[in-house]
Amino acid sequence: MSASLTKVLIANRGEIAVRLIRGCREMGLKTVAVYSECDRTAQHVRHADQAYAIGPNPPRQSYLRIDRIIDAARASGADAVHPGYGFLAENPEFARACRDAGLIFIGPTPEAMDLMGSKTAARAVAIAAGVPVVPGTKEPLGPEAPMADVARIAAEVGYPILIKAVSGGGGKGMRTVTDPAELASALRAARSEALSAFGDPAVYIERRVMRPRHIEIQLLGDHHGTVVPFVERECSIQRRHQKVVEESPSLQVNPGTRRALAAAAAAVARGVGYTNAGTIEFLLDQNGEFFFLEMNTRLQVEHPITELVTLTDLVHWQLRIARGERLDLDPEQALVPRGHAIECRIYAEDPDRDFLPSPGRITAMRLPAGPGIRCDDCGAVAGADVPVSYDPLIAKLSAWAVDRPTAIARMARALGEYDVRGIKTTIPFFRWLLADPDFLAGRFDTTFIDRALACRNGQPFQEVPPEDEHLSIVAAAVHAMTQKTAAASPAAAAAGDGRWKRHARNQGLR
Amino acid sequence: MELQIDIGGRTRTVIVETKDGQYHVTSDGETWLADVAVIDGATYSVIFPDRGYASQEVGVAVVGPNGDLSVHLASGITTVGRPTGAGRFGGRGAQAAQSVGARQVVAPMPGKVVRVLVKPGDQVKARQGLVVVEAMKMENELRSPKDGRIVSVLITEGTSVEAGRPLVVVE
C-alpha cells in the first residue's frame, strides 16, 4: 500500500502549525493553513502555500469546526490533514470525517483513538497486554452510580485515591482524596469540572501514587505491524498537573528500566494495532516500579526533545508512515540517548499572579539562538497580539547538549536572551527553576513545583537583585529623556547611527 | 530634567542631564555616568565608564493603563512607575507639583468581583491585596502597585467586569 501525498492541510495554529509546515516543506509537500479571524496575520498563515479563513476566534467556531476544515481541504486540493495536538487531534469523529472525505489523516485510526481515548478502556488494553496499571476501577462511574458503591470501590482501590475524568486530560476533572469523609464532595467537584470541560461527567478512581515520576515513551507504528519505541521523556516537572518542563533522558531511568518501559509501551501499542505517532504515559514510583497511566494518540507538545536525543524527525516519519512507508529505524538505536535535551514551555502567563494568562500586545520580541538551542515559537513579532481565545503557549524552548549540566547551562543562557515585552511570560519562572538546587540535582517528582512555589510565599518572580536597581533608574530616566527628545525634534527621532545620533545628542545638550 | 519615578514601592526624585554626549543620572545622592546608544525602539546599550565600563542592554516597554514601564535587564524584569516630571532642563513644572499621581488598578481580563478588601481613605502598602476577581474559574487577587491611599473604589462585590475596567484608584 502506497498512498500519494502532495499537499497537507494543517488543522491547527500557533507554534505546532509552524512546526508542521516546516516538516512538510522539508519533504517537498505543499501546505494549507486554516485560520480564525484573529490569526489572519499569524506565522502559519504567512508561511503556508494556501490559507483559508474558517471562522471567528472562539475554537468552537473555527478550529473545532470539522465541516469548515474538511471544506477547506477539498477546496484547496489537499490530499491529507495533520491535526497537530489539542483541538481535533484526538477526535475520532474528525478522523472519520477525513477518511470519509478521502483525505489521509496524519495520525492513528479513529478506532485506535476511540479505544485509547477512554481512560478505562485504555487501562483494560494495558492489562490485556500484561502491562502493570495503577490500581483502580475497571469501569467508569457515571453520575447514576450509588454513593455507597463508589465508597466501597474507593476503599478497595486503597487511599489515597485520585478521582479522574474518563474523558479528561490536562489535569482537569481530577481530585485527590486522602480521607474517606471527603469522598462525596470531591466526587461532586470532579464530576462538575469534567462535565463542563469535556461534556462527560463519568469518572474513575485510581490509587494516588505518592511522589511519582511521570515518564513517557514516544513511539511510532507503521501500517506493516512494526512499532518502534524511543528513549523516554521525563515529564515530572508539572504545575497543577500541567507539564512545564520536559527532559530526555530521565535521570531516574537506567538502561534496564528503559528497555522494560519500551517493551511495555510497544506491547500496549501492538495490542490495539496502533499506527503513526503516539505516546504511552507511565508513573514511576520511588521503588522503580512503573504503572501504565494512559496513551496519547497524537503527536505531543514535547516531541522536540525526543527528536534531539534520538536524531529523528517525528513529523517526517508521521508523513512517511501515512504514505505507507515502512519504519526502517534501528530499534536499538532508538533507545540510545545522544546527549541530553530539556524543553521549557513558554506561556504568556504572569507567574506573579498565579500564572494568570497575560494576553495583549507584544511590543518587543527577541528570540534566543546559538549553540544547542531550538526555539519552536509561534512566530509572534513585535506588534502582534497574543489572543485571549486560545492556550497562551508562545514557544517551546529546547536546549540540547552532550550532558544534562551543559543542557541546563544552555537553557539558562537562552532564557536570559529571550526578551519579550508588552506581556507577561513565564520566562522569569523558568530562570528561577533552572537555578533551583533540587532541579539541578534531579531531585523532583510530580509534586515538586507546587511545593517549591508554595515555599516562595508569594515572592515575585519578576524582580531584579537590589544591586541592579540603579539600572532600572537609569533605564527609566534615559527612556523618558529620549522619548522627550524624539518628540521635540523630528531629526532626532530619525536618528540612526553615527552622524544623526551625534546630532540628536547635540540637540539634547542645548 | 527632573523626574519622579516609583521604583520598589518608593518614589524617587531622579535628575537626568546630558553633557558631552553622555547621560548623568542622579538619584538618592548617587550619580551615574552612562554612555547610551539606542539599539531599536526602546532597547538601549548602556556602558558605565565609572564602573569598569560595565555594559548592559536594557529594554523598556510601556505596560498597563497608567503608562508604567517594564524594565528588562539581564538579571530580570521589574516594573517602574511612569516617570512624571518637569521640563527638559530641570525646575518644577505643573506635573511635578502634584503627587506622583493616581494609579488605577484594572481588571486584567473579563471576570467578576468576588471580594473588595479596601475602602476609600484606607492606607495601603505596595503589593497589598485590594480586590479579588474571579476569572477562568480561578480567583485572582489584584494588588496595589505602590504605597499610598485608596482614593476610590469603583465596583462592588458581584460586579461583572471586562478587561481593562478600572476597579480601584490608589494615590
Q: What is the CATH number of the domain that holds A145?
A: 3.30.1490.20
Query: Bigger pLDDT: B146 or A411?
Result: A411
pLDDT value of position B105: 87
A190 in the same domain as A79: no
Pairing of strands B76-80, B84-85: unpaired
A51 in the same domain as A68: yes
A169 in the same domain as A186: yes
Residue ending a domain, choose from A316, A338, A360: A338
A182 in the same domain as A128: no
Radius of gyration of chain A (CA): 25
A169 in the same domain as A113: no
A18 in the same domain as A51: yes
Of A382, A460, A464, the CB nearest to B75: A464
B48-70 pLDDT tens trace? 999 999 999 999 998 877 788 99
Residue of B nearest to A474 (CA): B25
Contact (CB, 8 A) for A144 and A45: no
- Provide block-wise average pLDDT over 10 residues at a time, chain A (510 residues): 87 97 98 96 95 96 97 97 96 97 98 92 94 87 90 91 84 87 92 86 89 95 97 94 95 95 97 97 90 95 98 98 96 97 96 89 93 94 89 95 98 97 95 95 91 88 87 92 72 44 44
Residue ending a domain, choose from A283, A316, A338: A338
A84 in the same domain as A225: no
Radius of gyration of chain B (CA): 19
A304 in the same domain as A240: yes
A280 in the same domain as A213: yes
Collapsing DSSP to helix, strand or coil, A264 comes out as helix
Q: For the purposes of burial, counting CB atoms within 10 Å of the CB of A229, is it exposed (0-12), middle (13-18) or buried (19 or more)?
A: buried
Q: What is the pTM of this model?
A: 0.82
Which is the catalytic residue, given A298, A320, A345, A374? A298
Of A465, A479, A482, the CB nearest to B69: A479
A202 in the same domain as A85: no
Is residue A22 flagged as an active site residue? no
Helices (H) and strands (E) in chain B, counts: 1, 17
pLDDT value of position A503: 47
**Backbone dihedral region of B28: left (phi > 0), alpha (psi from -120 to 50 degrees) or beta?**
left
Residue A476 lies in a domain: yes
A351-391 pLDDT tens trace? 998 899 988 899 999 999 999 999 999 988 888 899 989 98
Statement: residue B91 has pLDDT above 70: no
Contact (CB, 8 A) for A9 and A82: yes
Number of domains in chain A: 4
Contact (CB, 8 A) for A192 and A201: yes
pLDDT value of position B48: 94
Rounded-to-integer distance, Cα B29 and Cα A316, Å: 62
Residue A442 lies in a domain: no
Instruction: Give the CATH number, domain containing residue A40.
Output: 3.40.50.20
Contacts of A508 in chain B (CB under 8 A): 18
Residue A445 lies in a domain: no
Letter string b/e over residues A239-255, b meaning 16 or more CB atoms within 10 A of that residue's CB: beeebbbbbbbbebbee
Residue A328 lies in a domain: yes
A225-269 pLDDT tens trace? 999 999 999 999 999 888 999 999 999 999 999 999 999 999 999
Instruction: Give the CATH number, domain containing residue A265.
Output: 3.30.470.20
A173 in the same domain as A320: no
Rounded-to-integer distance, Cα A156 and Cα A394, Å: 44
- For cell 507538545, what's the residue? A301
Residue A451 lies in a domain: no
**Backbone dihedral region of A201: left (phi > 0), alpha (psi from -120 to 50 degrees) or beta?**
alpha
Contacts of A388 in chain B (CB under 8 A): 109, 163
Domain that includes residue A487, residue range: 472-509
Residue ending a domain, choose from A282, A311, A338: A338
Of A421, A484, A508, the CB nearest to B72: A421
Collapsing DSSP to helix, strand or coil, A275 comes out as coil
pLDDT value of position A508: 42
Q: Do A488 and B79 touch (CB under 8 A)?
A: no
Residue A345 lies in a domain: no
Which of A279-283, B33-37, B125-129 bottoms out in mean pLDDT, i.e. has the lowest? Answer: B125-129
